[in-house]
Structure 1
Amino acid sequence: MAPFSIMTVGANLLTRSWSLFSTALTVRCSCVAPTLKNFSTTSGGPPKRPLTAYLRYVIEQQPIVVKQNPEIRVVDVVRKIALQWRTLTPEEKRPFEEASITAREQYKVDMKAYQEQLTPAQSAALAEEKRQKMAKRRAIRKKRELNSLGKPKRPRSAFNIFMAEHFEEAKGTTVPGKMKSLFDDWKSLSLSQKQIYMQLAEDDKVRYKNEMKAWEEHMTELGREDLVRRKESRRKKAATKKGKKKSRVKVLKAKAPAKGAAGKKSSDAETKKTPSSTKK
């Protein structure tokens, strides 16, 4: 049974793709792989992955919950279904789990048939696409981790501050329309009017620098040096090396006079010996 927190992580993703999920149940790749005439690594290519038992339950319950609660937000619909899923008994979950297992087995068969028809170039293209997707997922996971660890937000530019302040009252009914309107308004501002936002942006840079310094020190204390900026890490290492070098120089300088005195004594002794040897 998945924890509620894990279930709700995908709420936003589910809300954006109801149509995709609803068609995914009926349009499964139960036949052999598609022909490769119109091969594409982004669409019409390999069989689609089967849905999990939980997602099958979500798709089944979504229209029922919406009908019962017509004014509820989509994200709240998902949360409500997640709570329902948690209360189901193993027997009630079994039909969804069995359907998911059957779909996974069929997916393996379809995928094998599909891969057998690929050319080496197509296989390489799919491998590259998979690599890019994995890199994107790692980046998303990394961002979520940094947010959970309280990493400070990057400083905003002068225009971003202006945009946040005037977005609600901006002209336009869509986000791109509002953005264009705000950009035009920004260009029409005088330098003295922009100076206010430029100063706020400079203040935000100082805030970010101070917060990042404190945050990175805290991450180092937690043993998460991997999250510290490379530039900062290199700077600290360089400072450490510089300090060690200075220490060595001081030690050498301290030893140098003693060596000089010893050398002078030996040279004086040799000078004294030289006349006596000459007399002989």
Structure 2
Amino acid sequence: MAPFSLITASVSLLAKSFGVWSCTSSLARCTGVLPPAFVGPLRCLTSQTSGPPKRPLNGYMRYVQQQQPILTRQNPDIKTIDIIRRIAQQWRVMTPEQKQPFEEASQRAREQFKLELQGYQAQLTPAQVEQQALEKKQRMAKRKAIRKKRELTTLGKPKRPRSSFNIFMSEHFEEARGTTTQAKMKSVLDDWRNLFTHQKQVYKQLAEDDKIRYKNEIKSWEEHMVEIGREDLIREQTLSTKKKLAAQTRATKKGTNKAKAVKASAKGKSKTSRKAA
């Protein structure tokens, strides 16, 4: 029977051989999928199949990453937002020479990111490419909606009218039963359903009043948007109503002019017939 040390050495040698073979085969698979330019001696891009490579940080964010831990240790009682503000102030007064190391590191990272992104995209199937394009389109639409909402808030667009239940919930949410938001909302909903008709009528009347408030405010706001040249922010239904009114006005003017022309023509014929007689 072989000594225990000899068996252990054999197992160790076998494990090392298997590890080398596994690494070599993985590298071979990488070289079979990617162009030679994307294959490095210490890196295999197939590890990115779960998602695209992350975009690199710019020079400023690299400086923030370096300085934030330092300032946090030196000032443990200062809030994170104040730390970031202090770092931003330091960055603004730095010379181009002081910023250069961070900018150069960012540039190198961008070049590496381009290579990794090309390698990642080379592995995608047509279905994955289509899915990523769809997700990007959805993200862009979401960002556009957020920017538009912020713009409308800045321009003072009136808030939409609340429903009777929303008014009831705003009044009773804080005192509702439950420790989580979801539990509180369920509690308020149960209380709303248990109200009598005459009790709900109070909130329905408040909701009707809020509709009138919104109708008056949105009308004034849209008139102001027209004055400042922002008709693109007006509701479609308002534009449709204006177009209909304009069309009716044009039709009325056209009918009036036609009637006047007919009347003038008849009057001219009458004068001609009298002269002939």
The TM-score, its normalising length taken from structure 2, stands at 0.73
Aligned to 1:242: 248
Question: Where do residues 201-216 of structure 1 align in structure 2 (5 Å cutoff)?
Answer: 201-216=207-222
Per-residue CA deviations over 1:99-154 (Å, capped at 9, x if unaligned) read: 22221111101011111222222222222222221111111111122222222222
- CA–CA distance in 2 between the matches of 1:208 and 1:220? 18
**Amino acid in the other structure paired with 2:108:** T
CA deviation after TM superposition for structure 1 residue 192, in Å = 2.1
CA deviation after TM superposition for structure 1 residue 239, in Å = 0.8
Select 2:166's aligned residue among 141, 160, 184: 160
Give the RMSD, CA atoms, in angstroms: 2.8
1:104 aligns with 2:110: yes
Per-residue CA deviations over 1:55-109 (Å, capped at 9, x if unaligned) read: 3333344444444555555545544443444344434433332222221111101
- Give the secondary-structure state (helix, strand or coil) at the position aligned to 2:45: coil
Question: Where do residues 39-118 of structure 1 align in structure 2 (5 Å cutoff)?
Answer: 44-68=50-74, 70=76, 73-118=79-124
**Are the counterparts in 2 of residues 33 and 46 from structure 1 also a CA contact under 8 Å?**
no
Closer/same/farther in 2, CA of residues 156 and 110 from structure 1, 3 Å limit: same
1:149 aligns with 2:155: yes
Aligned to 1:224: 230
Unaligned runs of 5+ in 1: 1-29, 273-280
- CA–CA distance in 2 between the matches of 1:185 and 1:75? 41
Unaligned runs of 5+ in 2: 1-41
The TM-score, its normalising length taken from structure 1, stands at 0.73
Closer/same/farther in 2, CA of residues 68 and 199 from structure 1, 3 Å limit: farther
- CA–CA distance in 2 between the matches of 1:99 and 1:196? 65
**Are the counterparts in 2 of residues 34 and 45 from structure 1 also a CA contact under 8 Å?**
no
Aligned to 1:184: 190
Corresponding pairs, count: 236
Greater C-alpha radius of gyration = 2
Closer/same/farther in 2, CA of residues 238 and 110 from structure 1, 3 Å limit: same
- CA–CA distance in 2 between the matches of 1:33 and 1:125? 21
Per-residue CA deviations over 1:212-235 (Å, capped at 9, x if unaligned) read: 111111111111111111211121
